[in-house]
Structure 1
Amino acid sequence: MHQHHNWVQSLKSFRHPQVITMLFLGFSAGIPLLLIFSSLSLWLREAGVERSTVTYFSWAALAYSFKFLWAPLVDKMPLPFLTRMLGRRRGWLAVSQLAIMSSIALIGMVDPAEQNALNLMAIVVVMLGFSAATQDIVIDAYRIESAEQELQALMSSTYIAGYRIGMLTSGAGALVLASYLGSTAEAYDYSAWKVTYLCMSLSMLVGLITTLLIKEPAQPRSLTHQSSLTHQSSLTHQYSTQQYLKFLSIFIMSIAIFVIAYLLTANESELLKDQLTALTDNGVLSNLIIETGRLTLGLLFVVAFIKAMSYSPLYERALVQETYIDPVADFFSRYGIKLAILLLAFIGFYRISDIVLGVISNVFFQDMGFTKSEIATVVKTFGLFMTIAGGFLGGLLAMRYGVIRILYLGAALTVVTNLLFMLLAESGHNIVLLYLVISADNLTAGLASAAFVAFLSSLTNVSFTAVQYAVFSSLMTLLPKMIGGYSGSMVDNLGYSSFFLVASLMGLPVLVLIYLIQRHAAFKDQ
């Protein structure tokens, strides 16, 4: 990321075919997210579901945060027929996009107002999260492998632009369509939301057609400036489909054990939450402690299971070594333990402020008295253009002045712009202030995201593209989304103004982490 491009060269780079391709793949990646978050939240609220329950549905998107667990399979495992016909990346892209289309359509078939329907909807939403996260794994790998490092900032910009257009389609588009078809907060109509989600399913054809038209990226395996571990990995052999299926069976059983362990502790956890709440007089803290304990217990069961399976014929030691251990070992080998841990901490905290706030933003706008049409017009449509502008600006500035400086700028502006939500909470229904808040917030988000994605791409070794980037992007959203699931409960206990203050202050440690990273020689030129 050296600062050697003039403005004309930078602008001309937007015409590069791979830069344009990322616009359409970004659209495909942007469709599912709001169908899990804000659009689904408004649908559930119209159907009479409690606010705290609505925000818990955001946990269905935790698949994005745990995608590193199956990224190695996506990276290595060939798909029957499709891998030969389309190639490694395009084959997995097509499968994940078809799975997303099916999941969105199935969500539309469930009416959350019916008794016990929420459990079924949760299962289908998790399916959507899993499919969408898989698509993200492949798109990230494709982006990094299909162009040189100097184009990554601009590819990030067009990816963000496409992503936001996809979010506009599944956000504002879904809200306008549901309203047009007759569903409102006062008069809920399931059929309107059903048709809306079926239309959103069809919009994924943009991504599927793109996948069929683009070329499979060349296999970059340059060993320059890469560790000896990378050289070793380039010499490894391909495993048979049967060996990968054995590996996949262990993975599926591990997920089943985690889910079973989590479900079996449901009753006990409710009792513990009540007891802890009585002791601490803090329901939010009690929820956080008990749910974290449940997740930890489930993971311990999985670790014990995998350890037991390591003595069985299903466990391929060499495959596990090359698939999971080598990509992680390579990262620590290249940067050293101290710097690697610092980088991982930075990745985990960089977007915490805006993600935690974003989970409940649509419910907040609705509670402030803004209509669905106003939310669609200002937050989704106008906000889209601000985010795209921020993304392009972030990409250009990163090429001109370096990624680290723009990371600083993005982190500082995020803290400041999130405080503006406090003004809106105090003012209530103020359309002018809403425009101001959305302008500042989305412009900042676009700028920060473009620089951040380019930075993550620079950390990735091309020999472990899918796995390492999946780890980075999973870590980026894991903590924010877990906290975001409690945002409804936090607002109930703190009120909106105090919640926004807390969310904003969460971004302050990021500035310190960027400063510490920049002090290392490896990042002085960025």
Structure 2
Amino acid sequence: MTAATTALPSETPAKPSARRLFGLYLLLGFSAGLPFYMFNAVLTLRLSKHGVDIVIIGFFAWIALLPTFKFAWAPLVERYDIPGFARFWGRRRGWIMLSQLGIFLSMVAMAFTSSDKSLPLTALFAILLAFWTTTLEVAADGWRIELAPTQAEQAPIVAANLWGYRSAMVAAGSGAILVAAWADWTWAYLVIAVAAFAPFPILAAMRPDQPGTAGRGAALIKGISASLLILLAATLATTAVGWVLLSAAQGAGISAKTNITPVVLAIALLPFALLALALPRINRLPADFLARKSGFAAAYVEIFWRYGYAMLALLAFVSLYRMGDVLALTLSHPLWNERGYSLHQIGVADGVVALSASMAGVALGGWLSTRLSLGWTLGIGAVTAALGNWIYVWLWHSEPASFILYTAVAVDQFGNGFAGAVFVVYLSMLVSPKYPGAQYALLSGFAFLLPRLLAGASGSMQTQIGYDGFFLLSGALSFAAIFLLPVIVRVKGRTA
């Protein structure tokens, strides 16, 4: 990777038309959504089918914590270029193309270890898949906020992005499960890996970042070569860190029966706690200090300075708002399996049912975001998300039937689609145009920190309170965000 002369994104092309922007973010949403299910819901179902203990499956849900910490490498995405790719396609697209290569190779590795005989190996490739999926999102989110800085511009692009994202998630979930039912898990992951790589040649065929730039073939060869070296280095580093952590855990006597949730919670909250402790000092900084500030921490100091102590209320709100979505995703598939639904029924539920309901929710959420205040749309989203969790209590106590499964999934996916669209618009309005990628990474990462921490303990929670108690609780936590809305809607940021 090569450093740029400034911390701001390198590309400054003319703004694409609304139609091109819509199509671009359908494509980018599809690119990010395909792999998400493969290290999350599909993987938990795969492990469940292989007889892995429910507590261990819960631990695998902590892989989804990785995107929470994307703020740790988001400044790198905004500051450094990928050799070869960046010269021709620009920095954002360069990182997106690198990420797609990483996604493809990680998923192929998961395909050829699909027997899950070595759970550490399964975890390694799932973590790499999560890392490169998240990196793609960081690059795409920063670019989106730069191209569409207002709420009116954001809403349709967010809807397009989420349509692509959720349709890809559904295609991955349903497609992988149906392929696994017809063949096996190896073929399921290979099919989705090929589909996830499809946008790469489309991006490679796009026009250069700057008019008159030549040498597409040379840039592609150099970019792929540099990317393979970066991917190898990332794999070796992840393997080394994983080996150290596993050795330390074994040395400490940690097993599936050990309650490590408090330890994980403390580690995950540490960077955010440090920022909160530094808030009084950040709050007293003069505006001219921020104008001169540069480097890794600049984006995070700026957003804490701009919102001051109200930042604590913002963080509390975002950590609750998507709680139900994350928790439902973790145990919904094991619940369906436990209730006796077949892979074919689950595949249909994750397919046309989930896709149509989710896209309807995204469309309505995006449309209302251009018509109503964010306070109202956020409130409606909290209610629909909670209902999407509570519907699974009805499913658990009903005799298995396709109608019941499809109805529950439709209500769940509609609520999550609606809440997701409104939430992305809201977060996009909180960031500074100077640091769009890094600040969005911080906010969206924190939004999923507590939910994913709890998701890692979901197996233990289910053994204590059952599936019905679990989904009652997860829905209530999502609904609780509504009580912070009177505070949230009054928050205004300072200007430097």
Q: TM-score, normalised to structure 2's length?
A: 0.81
Distance change (3 Å), C-alpha of 1:120 and 1:82:
same
How far the C-alpha of 1:507 sits from its partner, in A, is: 1.8
How far the C-alpha of 1:455 sits from its partner, in A, is: 0.8
Q: Give deviations 1:469-514, integer Å, cap 9, x for gaps.
A: 1111111111111110111221122111111111112123311222
Distance change (3 Å), C-alpha of 1:401 and 1:372:
same
CA distance in 2, matches of 1:326, 1:216: 30
Q: Which residue of 2 aligns with 1:211?
A: 203
Q: Give deviations 1:253-274, integer Å, cap 9, x for gaps.
A: 9989975764344136546997
CA contact (8 A) 1:262 1:294 kept: no
Q: Which residue of 1 aligns with 2:371?
A: 400
CA contact (8 A) 1:38 1:171 kept: yes
Distance change (3 Å), C-alpha of 1:272 and 1:370:
closer
CA contact (8 A) 1:272 1:290 kept: no
Distance change (3 Å), C-alpha of 1:465 and 1:39:
same
Q: How does 1:447-462 map to 2 (within 5 A)?
A: 447-462=418-433
CA distance in 2, matches of 1:163, 1:180: 25
CA distance in 2, matches of 1:163, 1:509: 26
Distance change (3 Å), C-alpha of 1:396 and 1:492:
same
Q: Is residue 20 from structure 1 mapped to residue 12 from structure 2 by the alignment? A: no
How far the C-alpha of 1:213 sits from its partner, in A, is: 4.5
Q: 3-state SS of the aligned residue for 1:66? A: helix
Q: Which residue of 2 aligns with 1:155?
A: 157
Distance change (3 Å), C-alpha of 1:331 and 1:522:
closer
Q: Give deviations 1:60-90, integer Å, cap 9, x for gaps.
A: 2222111110011111012222211211101
Q: Is residue 429 from structure 1 mapped to residue 430 from structure 2 by the alignment? A: no
How far the C-alpha of 1:295 sits from its partner, in A, is: 6.1
2:261 to 288, 294, 300: 288
Q: How does 1:150-299 map to 2 (within 5 A)?
A: 150-181=152-183, 192-214=184-206, 262-267=245-250, 269-270=252-253, 286-292=259-265
Distance change (3 Å), C-alpha of 1:113 and 1:396:
closer
Between stretches 25-34 and 257-266, larger displacement belongs to: 257-266
Distance change (3 Å), C-alpha of 1:166 and 1:350:
same
Distance change (3 Å), C-alpha of 1:272 and 1:202:
closer
Q: 3-state SS of the aligned residue for 2:81? A: coil
Distance change (3 Å), C-alpha of 1:271 and 1:103:
closer
Q: Is residue 478 from structure 1 mapped to residue 449 from structure 2 by the alignment? A: yes
2:485 to 514, 517, 522: 514
1:331 to 303, 322, 328: 303
How far the C-alpha of 1:111 sits from its partner, in A, is: 3.8
CA distance in 2, matches of 1:164, 1:215: 27
Q: Give deviations 1:152-198, integer Å, cap 9, x for gaps.
A: 111111111101121122100011111122xxxxxxxxxx2212211
CA contact (8 A) 2:315 2:446 kept: yes
Distance change (3 Å), C-alpha of 1:253 and 1:195:
closer
CA contact (8 A) 2:387 2:415 kept: no
Q: How does 1:352-371 map to 2 (within 5 A)?
A: 352-371=323-342
CA distance in 1, matches of 2:269, 2:370: 42
1:346 to 307, 310, 317: 317
CA distance in 2, matches of 1:491, 1:380: 26
Specify the code of the residue in structure 1 equivalent to 2:297: I
How far the C-alpha of 1:324 sits from its partner, in A, is: 2.4
**Structure 1: gaps of 5 or more residues:** 1-12, 182-191, 219-250, 275-282, 304-317
Specify the code of the residue in structure 1 equivalent to 2:395: L
Specify the code of the residue in structure 2 equivalent to 1:118: L
Specify the code of the residue in structure 2 equivalent to 1:158: A
Specify the code of the residue in structure 2 equivalent to 1:80: P
> What is the identity percentage for the equivalent residue pairs of Structure 1 and Structure 2?
28
2:359 to 378, 384, 388: 388
Q: How does 1:41-80 map to 2 (within 5 A)?
A: 41-80=44-83
CA distance in 2, matches of 1:168, 1:477: 20
Q: Give deviations 1:128-164, integer Å, cap 9, x for gaps.
A: 1111111110111121122342221111111111011
Specify the code of the residue in structure 1 equivalent to 2:249: A
Q: TM-score, normalised to structure 1's length?
A: 0.77
CA RMSD, 1 decimal: 3.1
Distance change (3 Å), C-alpha of 1:194 and 1:332:
same
CA distance in 2, matches of 1:253, 1:468: 29
Distance change (3 Å), C-alpha of 1:113 and 1:23:
closer
CA distance in 2, matches of 1:135, 1:521: 30
CA distance in 2, matches of 1:142, 1:519: 28
Q: 3-state SS of the aligned residue for 2:482? A: helix
How far the C-alpha of 1:217 sits from its partner, in A, is: 7.8
CA contact (8 A) 1:64 1:130 kept: yes
Q: 3-state SS of the aligned residue for 2:370? A: helix
CA distance in 2, matches of 1:321, 1:521: 22
CA distance in 2, matches of 1:486, 1:257: 25
Q: Give deviations 1:348-384, integer Å, cap 9, x for gaps.
A: 2210122112111111111111111111112332111
Distance change (3 Å), C-alpha of 1:209 and 1:437:
same
How far the C-alpha of 1:33 sits from its partner, in A, is: 0.8
Specify the code of the residue in structure 2 equivalent to 1:384: L
How far the C-alpha of 1:205 sits from its partner, in A, is: 2.7
CA distance in 1, matches of 2:417, 2:40: 19
CA distance in 2, matches of 1:443, 1:294: 34
Number of positions where the alignment pairs a residue of Structure 1 with one of Structure 2? 439
Specify the code of the residue in structure 2 equivalent to 1:372: L
Distance change (3 Å), C-alpha of 1:215 and 1:462:
farther
CA distance in 1, matches of 2:244, 2:315: 29
CA distance in 1, matches of 2:417, 2:113: 34
CA distance in 2, matches of 1:129, 1:491: 25
CA distance in 1, matches of 2:337, 2:367: 35
Q: Which residue of 2 aligns with 1:95?
A: 98
Between stretches 264-273 and 252-261, larger displacement belongs to: 252-261
Q: Which residue of 2 aligns with 1:228?
A: none
CA contact (8 A) 1:265 1:294 kept: no
How far the C-alpha of 1:252 sits from its partner, in A, is: 11
CA contact (8 A) 1:419 1:501 kept: yes
Q: How does 1:315-326 map to 2 (within 5 A)?
A: 322-326=294-298
**Structure 2: gaps of 5 or more residues:** 1-15, 211-233, 276-289
Q: 3-state SS of the aligned residue for 1:171? A: helix
CA distance in 2, matches of 1:291, 1:172: 31
Distance change (3 Å), C-alpha of 1:467 and 1:43:
same
Q: Which residue of 2 aligns with 1:498?
A: 469
CA distance in 1, matches of 2:314, 2:205: 36
